């Protein structure tokens, strides 16, 4: 059989379909003339375009011995093999004609290289391209289970798999430094992480002072370790507000809440000035935290800081507890309420609940101006009979300590009048006290016990209605008291 | 005579009050030392009220004696009541001293106020107490929600002192799904350094998050603010944030006010006045029934004394109208929710005793007594407010806190409509409060307004408004 069937003259123009087209010009040609390499994808304009079928491209052994069906990749190999069968063989010489450059196009229609203007200049190249792009990947790396269609690719990868890698925080591995750097610059995970912190911040951490108690546990102790810590990776001005407010978002990112900002506050507060801080200063004062200088350590820093915070909170649980309790048993609010209670000693103050507030506040404003406007008082007394009853009830009678906070500020005033009345009661000399005879009228029936008490003591009935708070009289009484019978009172308590 | 319960409480009081005006006793009164803190606290309250009364009625001799007594007991580093008493008496003394203007000026002439100290104290207030943080969280959430689809956002901060608020907002806006808007923040403040610092911090943050951002500084007092300077452009969505600022606009010359009271009806807010007059003229019985302590001091000593009707509201009303004219999409107002704007000293003293007791209690339960920061906040922040409320009158008295209801009325009149604060914002705020590990802080919500309380005492309110055409 002639080998002609298998070799076609390379000079046929146009597309040759479904035919083997062995390249009679092997690369083994020693080249005094160096082959000019075109730019990839930009073939020589007068090169010959050859289109091979996928089967042809993928075929490994295209030259088959008809006798023994052995396959050869090259025609020359086949010819030599045929010699062994004593078959006629012919080695084709390279034609001396001008060598026509050949370029190959990919048979896959959707491929870029299907276009002759983007043909590839190399048969091996087009074969590999076809396998890589449009073939199935049958070679798998053991280490990382990455798949390859071309064996040489697979081999090359296997050699370097796991040897040198860059890892982004988002978990992506890179073998190349440049791609790693580029990726990291735009990595979504980084953005997501900072966003996570800031969104959490916006909800919780941003304004949350996690360890207010901690802070104040530090106050006055000078926890130097912690206080020196400024914000990592954030520039801050010497200005104090810059210092600590910088804390909020950046520190939030570090998941360390306000502890550092506050403690640095503590430091400044005690020093009374704003020491300049810079990063180096911070790191030097900071012995506890391991500061990784790289910004990529953000995550780690956050973690370590978070740990520090937790450890600190565990360190100072006692101080927190101690400080959260007010040392004095009574808060100012409670004291005020109690004082107000003393003014409303009626057993059922609820009767006058809210209204009392109004009335007394009106009376309070009166007490202030009363030294000048007694008449006013009379009017009010007539209008607000009940009020006066309230103020009659001295603290000496059953002090109803039930929280009656609704009475509010009014009661304080009743307290002042109550106290003044109290004094009046104590004074046996009560003659001077009749300032408002009109008040004698005001005796609603409900005074029962208290009235009797006061009556007994004063011997003059319950006419000590809320007399205007007149300082002069108070002074007078006090003087009287001091001159006459201090002893009797001191005995009583 | 004394019943058991009372004797332990009242007898010392009686003894003390009897002895109080006597000049014969040498100081210090030895028995004062033996007072237990509760008794001492009660005595301090009594003395404060006595003293205030003396001051109000002009009997300075007695006031002096009372002050002397208080000074034996009060102390800025004692318990809550002692601290409060210290600042209240300082305020009362300051008030007395104002009767001699020359003396007063001379004593205050060499006072140095460092900007850095002011900044520090503001920061301390922000850190130690949750009120500002809660206000910021609610404000920011309201802004984020209102600006949901806006591409150009302009925010005006009536008191740009705390960058933390806007940093948080920048972060929240950058995280929104449709991407951040073009953001402009205009900050108003009296001190240029503060604004510069704020500009620096915010620009840095915005650059970090890659948000187009611009900060404009306006160095001005709020009452002298020139609306034109705000440069609100058409097409941008405007939000205004006012944190504890509006009440200072209520300050005005009260003397002039009282004189003009019959003419008050001529003012812009005729409706205001009528309402107030109706209040005053309504039967006292009505007043008895309703709990009207909301700030309408029903004292009928002068017809126009209720501050709402007075021309004091002109300044704030014109300011609100000017703001309305800018057509803001949202305005969030944080204010103190207490009535410290009573016309008489005693009114204000009584109310402020309660409010500041609550505030001092907040500090007591969260900060140690030895803390210098706490001292600074108490002295330079609260102390100054107390001094202003008690010692100043007229245009000088800037801390004119009023109850939320009054603000609601004012804003209604200025054609603003209420925007209820979002559930999510309140959730965040609550979580924040819980982070303070203190059960005293409570947050109440009513009709879309949020009131932050300590125990049961409302202290601050946050409300959001929009422009109604």
In this structure, chain B runs to a length of: 469
Contact across the interface for B297 and A361, Cβ inside 8 Å: yes
Residue A384 to residue A360: CA distance in whole angstroms: 9
Residue A174 to residue A280: CA distance in whole angstroms: 32
Task: Give the model confidence (pLDDT) of B98-131 as tens digits.
Answer: 999 999 999 988 888 888 898 999 999 999 999 9
Predicted local confidence at residue B187, as pLDDT: 95
pLDDT surpassing 50 at residue A288 = no
Task: Give the model confidence (pLDDT) of A52-85 as tens digits.
Answer: 888 777 777 778 888 888 888 888 888 888 888 8
The H or E element that residue A373 is part of is none
Residues of A in contact with B204 (CB under 8 A): 235
Residue A342 to residue B404: CA distance in whole angstroms: 30
Contact across the interface for A383 and B284, Cβ inside 8 Å: yes
Instruction: Find the mean pLDDT for residues B53-67.
Output: 92
CA distances (Å), A226 to each of A315, A324, B286, in order?
A: 13, 21, 60
Comparing B24 with B463, which gets the higher pLDDT?
B463
Predicted local confidence at residue A414, as pLDDT: 56
Contact across the interface for B373 and A266, Cβ inside 8 Å: yes
Residue A278 touches chain B, beta carbons under 8 Å: no
Predicted local confidence at residue A74, as pLDDT: 81
| Residue A171 confidence class, pLDDT cut points 50, 70, 90 | confident
Residue B393 to residue B76: CA distance in whole angstroms: 25
Q: Is the confidence metric ipTM above 0.85 for this complex? A: no
Residue B314 touches chain A, beta carbons under 8 Å: no
Residues of B in contact with A401 (CB under 8 A): 5
DSSP bridge pairs for B186 = B156, B216
| Residue B253 confidence class, pLDDT cut points 50, 70, 90 | low
Helices (H), B235-269: 254-259
pLDDT surpassing 90 at residue A96 = no
Percent of chain A at pLDDT above 90?
0
Predicted local confidence at residue B172, as pLDDT: 93
Residues of B in contact with A399 (CB under 8 A): 3, 5-6, 9
Predicted local confidence at residue A423, as pLDDT: 42
Task: Give the model confidence (pLDDT) of A183-193 as tens digits.
Answer: 777 666 555 55
Predicted local confidence at residue A151, as pLDDT: 86
Residue A416 to residue A370: CA distance in whole angstroms: 14
State how far residue A100 is from chain B, nearest Cα, in angstroms. Answer: 57
DSSP bridge pairs for A63 = A72
Residue A321 to residue A315: CA distance in whole angstroms: 12
Task: Give the model confidence (pLDDT) of B180-228 as tens digits.
Answer: 999 999 999 999 999 999 999 999 999 999 999 999 999 999 888 988 8
Comparing B422 with A195, which gets the higher pLDDT?
B422
Instruction: Find the mean pLDDT for residues B14-42.
Output: 58
Residue window 425-454, chain A: list those with CB within 8 Å of chain B. 425-426, 453
pLDDT surpassing 90 at residue B389 = yes
For the CA atoms of chain B, what is the radius of gyration? 24
Task: Give the model confidence (pLDDT) of B400-428 as tens digits.
Answer: 999 999 999 999 999 999 999 999 999 99
| Residue B259 confidence class, pLDDT cut points 50, 70, 90 | low
CA nearest B367 in A: which residue? Answer: A216
Contact across the interface for A486 and B456, Cβ inside 8 Å: no
State how far residue A166 is from chain B, nearest Cα, in angstroms. Answer: 25
Residue window 66-95, chain A: list those with CB within 8 Å of chain B. none
Chain Cα centroid distance, residue B77 = 23
Sort B438 into a burial class: Cβ within 10 Å, 0-12 / 13-18 / 19+: middle
DSSP-derived pairing of the beta strands A63-64 and A71-72? antiparallel
Comparing B305 with A113, which gets the higher pLDDT?
A113
State how far residue B281 is from chain A, nearest Cα, in angstroms. Answer: 14
Predicted local confidence at residue B353, as pLDDT: 94
Task: Give the model confidence (pLDDT) of A451-475 as tens digits.
Answer: 444 443 333 434 444 444 444 444 4
Q: What are phi and psi of B386, to 5 degrees?
A: -60, -40
Predicted local confidence at residue B156, as pLDDT: 95
Q: Is B35 helix (H, G, I), strand (E, B) or coil?
A: coil
B14 sits in the region (left: phi over 0; alpha: psi -120 to 50; else beta) called alpha
DSSP bridge pairs for B453 = B442, B458
Task: Give the model confidence (pLDDT) of A26-57 as tens digits.
Answer: 444 444 455 556 565 566 777 788 888 887 77
- Helices (H) then strands (E): counts for chain A: 22, 8
Predicted local confidence at residue A237, as pLDDT: 38
CA nearest B455 in A: which residue? Answer: A333
| Residue B66 confidence class, pLDDT cut points 50, 70, 90 | very high
Among A456-470, B50-64, B67-81, the minimum mean pLDDT is found in A456-470
Predicted local confidence at residue B163, as pLDDT: 93
Comparing A344 with B55, which gets the higher pLDDT?
B55
Nearest by CB: A240 against B24, B119, B367: B119
Q: What are phi and psi of B449, to 5 degrees?
A: -100, 150
Residues of B in contact with A489 (CB under 8 A): 11, 14-15, 18
Residues B136 and B457: beta-carbon distance below 8 Å: no
In this structure, what token pair is assigned to residue B193? 């350094």
Contact across the interface for A369 and B18, Cβ inside 8 Å: no
Predicted local confidence at residue B238, as pLDDT: 94
Percent of chain B at pLDDT above 70?
80
Residue window 211-270, chain B: list those with CB within 8 Å of chain A. none
Longest CA–CA span in chain B (Å) reads: 78
Contact across the interface for B79 and A397, Cβ inside 8 Å: no
Contact across the interface for B45 and A220, Cβ inside 8 Å: no
CB atoms within 10 A of CB A415: 27
Instruction: Find the mean pLDDT for residues B351-373.
Output: 92
Comparing B159 with A292, which gets the higher pLDDT?
B159
| Cis amide prior to A474 (ω within 30 degrees) | no
pLDDT surpassing 70 at residue B12 = no
Among A281-290, B207-216, B272-281, the minimum mean pLDDT is found in A281-290
Among A114-128, A142-156, A402-416, the minimum mean pLDDT is found in A402-416
CA dihedral B431, B436, B442, B446 (to 10 degrees): -40
The H or E element that residue B299 is part of is none
Residues of B in contact with A413 (CB under 8 A): 49, 346, 350
Predicted local confidence at residue A441, as pLDDT: 40
pLDDT surpassing 80 at residue A362 = no
Residue window 238-257, chain A: list those with CB within 8 Å of chain B. 239-242, 244-246, 248-249
Nearest by CB: A489 against B9, B15, B365: B15
CA distances (Å), A128 to each of A27, A54, A104, A152, in order?
A: 17, 12, 12, 9
Residues A447 and A455: beta-carbon distance below 8 Å: no
Highest-scoring range by mean pLDDT, A10-24, A172-186, A265-279, B196-210 = B196-210
Contact across the interface for B360 and A332, Cβ inside 8 Å: yes
pLDDT surpassing 70 at residue B135 = yes
Contact across the interface for B119 and A415, Cβ inside 8 Å: no
pLDDT surpassing 60 at residue B171 = yes
CB atoms within 10 A of CB B28: 11
Residue window 311-370, chain A: list those with CB within 8 Å of chain B. 320, 323-333, 335-336, 338-339, 342, 354-355, 357-359, 361-362, 364-369
Instruction: Find the mean pLDDT for residues A399-424.
Output: 46
Predicted local confidence at residue B308, as pLDDT: 46
Comparing B333 with B40, which gets the higher pLDDT?
B333
The H or E element that residue A34 is part of is none
Comparing B91 with A10, which gets the higher pLDDT?
B91
Residue B358 touches chain A, beta carbons under 8 Å: yes
Mean pLDDT of chain B: 82
**Could you tell me which residues come within 8 angstroms of residue A355 by beta carbon, excluding any fewer than 6 positions away?**
B287, B288, B289, B291
Among A111-125, A164-178, B60-74, B207-221, the minimum mean pLDDT is found in A164-178
Among A201, A268, A204, smallest CA distance to A230 is for: A268
Among B414, B131, B39, B81, smallest CA distance to B249 is for: B414
In this structure, what token pair is assigned to residue A433? 């006290």
CA nearest A217 in B: which residue? Answer: B368
Contact across the interface for B18 and A486, Cβ inside 8 Å: yes
Predicted local confidence at residue A139, as pLDDT: 85
State how far residue B280 is from chain A, nearest Cα, in angstroms. Answer: 12
Residue window 361-420, chain A: list those with CB within 8 Å of chain B. 361-362, 364-369, 371, 373, 376, 383-384, 395-399, 401, 405-406, 408-410, 412-413, 415-416, 419
Predicted local confidence at residue A80, as pLDDT: 87
pLDDT surpassing 70 at residue B150 = yes
Which residues in B177-200 are b (16+ Cβ under 10 Å) and which e? eeebbebbbbbbbeeeebbbbbbb
State how far residue B233 is from chain A, nearest Cα, in angstroms. Answer: 28
pLDDT surpassing 90 at residue B331 = yes
Residues A139 and A147: beta-carbon distance below 8 Å: yes
Residue B207 to residue B215: CA distance in whole angstroms: 12
Comparing B42 with A215, which gets the higher pLDDT?
B42
Residue A329 to residue A337: CA distance in whole angstroms: 14
The packing angle between helices A374-383 and A385-392, to 10°, is 100
Among A87-96, A289-298, B250-259, the minimum mean pLDDT is found in A289-298
Residue B168 touches chain A, beta carbons under 8 Å: yes
Mean pLDDT of chain A: 55
| DSSP codes, B61-130 | HHHHHHHHHHHHH--TTS-HHHHHHHHHHHHHHHHHHTTSHHHHHHHHTT----HHHHHHHHHHHHHHSS
Instruction: Find the mean pLDDT for residues A288-309.
Output: 41
Residue A221 touches chain B, beta carbons under 8 Å: no
Predicted local confidence at residue B38, as pLDDT: 84
Highest-scoring range by mean pLDDT, A117-131, B53-67, B300-314 = B53-67
Predicted local confidence at residue B30, as pLDDT: 60
SS (H, E, C) A98-115: CCCCEEEECCCCCCHHHC
Contact across the interface for A245 and B436, Cβ inside 8 Å: no
Among A53, A19, A44, A51, smallest CA distance to A98 is for: A44
Predicted local confidence at residue A94, as pLDDT: 67
Contact across the interface for A207 and B284, Cβ inside 8 Å: no
B293 sits in the region (left: phi over 0; alpha: psi -120 to 50; else beta) called alpha
CA nearest A191 in B: which residue? Answer: B209
Q: What are phi and psi of A72, to 5 degrees?
A: -130, 150
Nearest by CB: A478 against B21, B122, B168: B21
pLDDT surpassing 90 at residue B92 = yes
Residue A295 touches chain B, beta carbons under 8 Å: no
Nearest by CB: B41 against A266, A323, A330: A330
| Residue A402 confidence class, pLDDT cut points 50, 70, 90 | very low
Residue B162 to residue B179: CA distance in whole angstroms: 25
Highest-scoring range by mean pLDDT, A163-167, A247-251, B2-6, B175-179 = B175-179
Among B132, B439, B146, B143, smallest CA distance to A248 is for: B132
Residue B13 touches chain A, beta carbons under 8 Å: yes
pLDDT surpassing 50 at residue B39 = yes
Residue A228 touches chain B, beta carbons under 8 Å: no
Is 0.90 topped by the overall pTM? no
Among A133-137, A199-203, B451-455, the minimum mean pLDDT is found in A199-203
Comparing A98 with A302, which gets the higher pLDDT?
A98
């Amino acid at each position: 059989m002639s080998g002609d069937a298998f070799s076609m003259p390379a000079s046929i123009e146009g597309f040759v379909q479904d035919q083997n087209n062995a390249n009679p010009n092997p690369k083994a040609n020693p080249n005094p003339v160096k082959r000019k390499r075109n730019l990839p994808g930009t073939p020589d304009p007068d090169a010959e375009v050859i289109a091979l079928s996928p089967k042809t491209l993928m075929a490994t052994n295209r030259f088959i011995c008809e006798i023994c069906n052995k396959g050869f990749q090259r025609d020359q190999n086949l010819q030599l093999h045929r010699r062994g069968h004593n078959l006629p063989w012919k080695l084709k010489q390279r034609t001396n004609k001008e060598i026509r450059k050949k370029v190959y196009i990919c048979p896959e229609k959707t491929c870029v290289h299907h276009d002759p203007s983007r043909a590839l200049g190399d048969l091996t190249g087009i074969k590999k391209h076809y396998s890589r792009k449009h073939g199935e990947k049958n070679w798998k790396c053991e280490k990382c289970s990455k798949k390859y269609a071309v064996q040489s690719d697979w081999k090359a990868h296997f050699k370097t798999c796991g040897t040198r890698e860059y890892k982004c925080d988002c978990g992506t591995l890179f073998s190349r430094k440049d791609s790693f750097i580029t990726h990291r610059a735009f990595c979504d995970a980084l953005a997501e992480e900072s966003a996570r912190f800031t969104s959490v911040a916006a909800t919780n951490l941003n304004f949350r002072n996690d360890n207010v108690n901690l802070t104040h546990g530090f106050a006055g102790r000078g926890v130097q370790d912690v206080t020196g810590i400024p914000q990592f990776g954030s520039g801050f001005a010497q200005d104090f507000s810059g210092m600590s407010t910088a804390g909020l978002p950046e520190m939030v990112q570090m998941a360390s809440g306000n502890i550092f900002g506050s403690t640095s506050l503590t430091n400044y507060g005690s020093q009374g000035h704003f020491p300049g801080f810079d990063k180096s200063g911070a790191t030097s004062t900071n012995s506890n935290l391991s500061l990784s200088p790289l910004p990529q350590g953000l995550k780690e820093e956050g973690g370590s800081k978070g740990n520090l915070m937790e450890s600190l909170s565990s360190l100072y649980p006692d101080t927190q507890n101690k400080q959260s309790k007010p040392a004095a048993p009574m808060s100012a609010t409670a004291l005020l309420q109690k004082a107000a209670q003393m003014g409303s000693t009626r057993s059922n103050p609820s009767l006058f609940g809210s209204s009392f507030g109004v009335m007394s506040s009106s009376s309070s404003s009166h007490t202030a101006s009363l030294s000048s406007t007694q008449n006013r008082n009379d009017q009010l007394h007539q209008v607000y009979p009940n009020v006066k009853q309230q103020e009659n009830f001295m603290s000496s009678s059953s002090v109803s300590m039930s929280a009656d906070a609704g009475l509010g500020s009014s009661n304080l005033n009743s307290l002042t009048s109550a106290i003044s009345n109290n004094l009046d009661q104590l004074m046996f000399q009560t003659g001077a006290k009749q300032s408002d005879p009109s008040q004698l009228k005001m005796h609603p029936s409900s005074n029962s016990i208290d009235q009797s008490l006061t009556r007994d003591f004063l011997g003059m009935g319950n006419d000590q209605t809320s007399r205007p708070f007149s300082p002069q009289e108070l002074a007078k009484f006090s003087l009287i008291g001091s001159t006459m019978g201090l002893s009797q009172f001191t005995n009583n308590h | 005579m004394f019943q058991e319960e009372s004797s332990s409480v009242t007898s010392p009081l009686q003894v003390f009050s009897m002895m109080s005006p006597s000049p014969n006793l040498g100081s210090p009164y030895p028995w004062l030392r033996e007072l237990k803190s509760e008794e001492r606290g009660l005595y301090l309250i009594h003395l404060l009220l006595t003293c205030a009364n003396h001051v109000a009625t002009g009997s300075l001799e007695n006031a002096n004696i009372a002050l002397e007594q208080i000074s034996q007991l009060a102390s800025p580093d004692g318990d809550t009541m002692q601290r409060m008493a210290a600042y209240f008496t300082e305020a009362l003394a300051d008030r007395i001293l104002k009767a001699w203007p020359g003396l007063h000026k001379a004593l205050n002439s060499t006072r140095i106020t460092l900007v850095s100290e002011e900044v520090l104290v503001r920061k301390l207030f922000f850190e130690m107490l949750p009120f500002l943080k809660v206000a910021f969280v609610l404000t920011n959430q309201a802004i984020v929600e209102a600006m949901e689809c806006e591409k150009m956002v302009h925010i005006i901060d009536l008191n740009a002192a705390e960058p933390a608020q806007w940093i948080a907002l920048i972060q929240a806006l950058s995280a929104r799904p449709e991407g951040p808007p073009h953001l402009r923040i205009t900050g108003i403040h009296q001190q240029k350094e503060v604004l510069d610092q704020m500009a620096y911090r915010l620009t840095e943050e915005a650059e970090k998050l890659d948000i187009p951002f611009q900060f404009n500084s306006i160095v001005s007092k709020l009452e002298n603010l020139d609306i034109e300077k705000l440069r609100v452009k058409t097409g941008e969505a405007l939000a205004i944030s006012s944190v504890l600022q509006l009440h200072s606009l209520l300050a005005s010359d009260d003397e002039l006010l009282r004189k003009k009271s019959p003419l008050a009806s001529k003012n812009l807010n005729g409706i205001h006045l009528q309402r107030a007059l109706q209040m005053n003229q309504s039967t006292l019985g009505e007043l008895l029934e309703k709990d009207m302590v909301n700030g309408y001091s029903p004292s009928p000593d002068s017809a126009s004394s209720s501050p709402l009707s007075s021309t004091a509201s002109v300044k704030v009303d014109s300011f609100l109208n000017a703001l309305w004219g800018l057509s803001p999409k949202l305005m969030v107002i944080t204010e103190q929710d207490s009535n410290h704007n009573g016309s008489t000293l005693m009114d204000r003293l009584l109310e402020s005793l309660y409010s500041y007791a609550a505030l001092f209690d907040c500090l007591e339960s969260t900060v140690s007594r030895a803390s210098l920061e706490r001292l600074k906040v108490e002295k330079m922040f609260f102390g100054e407010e107390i001094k202003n409320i008690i010692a100043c009158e007229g245009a000088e008295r800037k801390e004119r806190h009023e109850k939320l209801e009054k603000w609601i009325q004012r804003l209604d009149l200025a054609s603003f409509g209420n925007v209820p604060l979002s559930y999510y914002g309140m959730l965040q705020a609550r979580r924040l409060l819980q982070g303070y590990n203190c059960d005293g802080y409570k947050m109440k919500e009513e009709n879309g307004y949020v009131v932050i309380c300590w125990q049961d005492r409302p202290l601050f309110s946050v409300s959001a408004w929009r422009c109604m055409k």
